[in-house]
Amino acid sequence: MSFSGRVKEELARMCPRARHCRLAELAAVTGMCGEWREEETGSLSFSVHSENIAVVRKCFTLIEKTFNIGNEIAVRTAVRRNLQKDSSAYYLYASGECLRAVRHADVQAVCCKRAYLRGAFLSSGSMSDPGKSYHFEIVCNTLEKAQYLQQLMQDFGLEARIVRRKKNIIVYLKEGDRIVDALNVMDAPVALMELENVRILKDMRNNVNRKVNCETANINKTVSAAVKQRDDIEYIRDMVGLSGLPDGLRDVALTRLAYPDASLKELGGLLENPIGKSGVNHRLRKLSEMADKLRDSKEVQYDQETSNN
């Protein structure tokens, strides 16, 4: 089962104790995947249809715990097979005058807002696998419903966004910490802990990768610098020789040629008269400047010979 499916299974098992919260969650379910109808007898009815049987089960449970089934309200359920899509659709039909309490549910209290968001996600929401990406969305068929959901989520500090996708309006979250907060709001502690564990593992992996990349970059930088130092020293040796260099520069030059992989600190300890890292760096910079001047003079000489010819 997908992560989104496990979240819905957990939400489907959670039933509010308070009647007003059950009405709020029923209002969300009927608003997202239901249809209301005024019967010829004057009573009210609604039908809920979903490809997720957990939605229909949850709707039945909420009705059963809120109303007196058989006396005040009639409920029927059915399963219809869609041969073209090779999938099943589950239907629930309920009728009764008392259902007006669902249609006009007061979603003002914090607990009722939580229940409404839970019902909305259960009915038409989905989440991506947190191991791959962070994405939470609820599909609405009207902009009005999307804006209402967005406002409810903002009441909990969830900065949800709205985007149009074909004929539907999507209310979504992309940040991992916001999705954790959304699961907390909807009372899905098991899914919340699973998501947090995935986030911790991903953060650890990312930190390790950053450290490895940083160390690799430093190693590459050190190796590149050592190669250039050796090239500069070899150029000086081939052009004018190393014997005429001051003792300190000659000592560093010969030691670098003998130990091309040594760090500056190691190089300083290998000299006849050991010095620190900054001293080694200073002498190598002097050698580099000397090599650059020799190259420049060589180019000037070459340009003069070319112009004379």
Instruction: Provide DSSP, 31-67.
Output: HHHEEEEE-TTS-EEEEEEES-HHHHHHHHHHHHHHS
| Dist CA 62 CA 66 (whole Å) | 6
**Cβ within 8 Å of residue 206, ≥6 positions away:** none
Report all structural domains of the chain as residue ranges with CATH numbers, in order of start. Answer: 3-187 (3.10.28.10), 219-301 (no CATH)
Report the range out of 14-28, 47-61, 266-280 with the highest average pLDDT.
14-28
Phi, psi for residue 81 in degrees, rounded to 5: -90, 125
pLDDT of residue 186: 95
Model confidence at 205, in pLDDT bands (50, 70, 90)? confident
Strand order across the beta sheet in which 168-173 lies? 125-127, 136-140, 168-173, 161-165
Pairing type for strands 136-140 and 125-127 reads: antiparallel
**Closest to 263 in 3D by CA, of 286, 292, 284, 293:** 284
The two structure tokens encoding residue 35 = 């249809």
CB 25: neighbour CB atoms within 10 A? 30
| Dist CA 72 CA 88 (whole Å) | 30
Average pLDDT over residues 275-282: 90
303: pLDDT strictly greater than 80: no
Average pLDDT over residues 90-113: 89
- Rg, Å, the chain Cα set: 36
Average pLDDT over residues 34-47: 82
Q: Where are the alpha helices (DSSP H) in the chain?
A: 3-13, 19-33, 53-66, 100-103, 110-124, 143-155, 176-185, 189-239, 247-258, 264-270, 277-308
Helix axes 176-185, 189-239, angle to 10 degrees: 170
pLDDT of residue 71: 59
188: pLDDT strictly greater than 60: yes
CB 159: neighbour CB atoms within 10 A? 11
246: pLDDT strictly greater than 70: yes
Distances (CA, A) of 4 to 186, 209, 290: 14, 28, 66
Q: Which of the residue ranges 79-93, 156-170, 179-193, 243-257 would you say has the lowest mean pLDDT?
A: 79-93
**Closest to 253 in 3D by CA, of 265, 267, 266, 263:** 267
| Dist CA 156 CA 164 (whole Å) | 23
CB-based contact 26:119 (threshold 8 Å):
yes
83: pLDDT strictly greater than 50: no
Task: Tell me the average pLDDT of the chain.
Answer: 86
pLDDT of residue 103: 85
Which residue would you say has higher pLDDT here, 299 or 19? 19
CB 19: neighbour CB atoms within 10 A? 12
104: pLDDT strictly greater than 80: yes
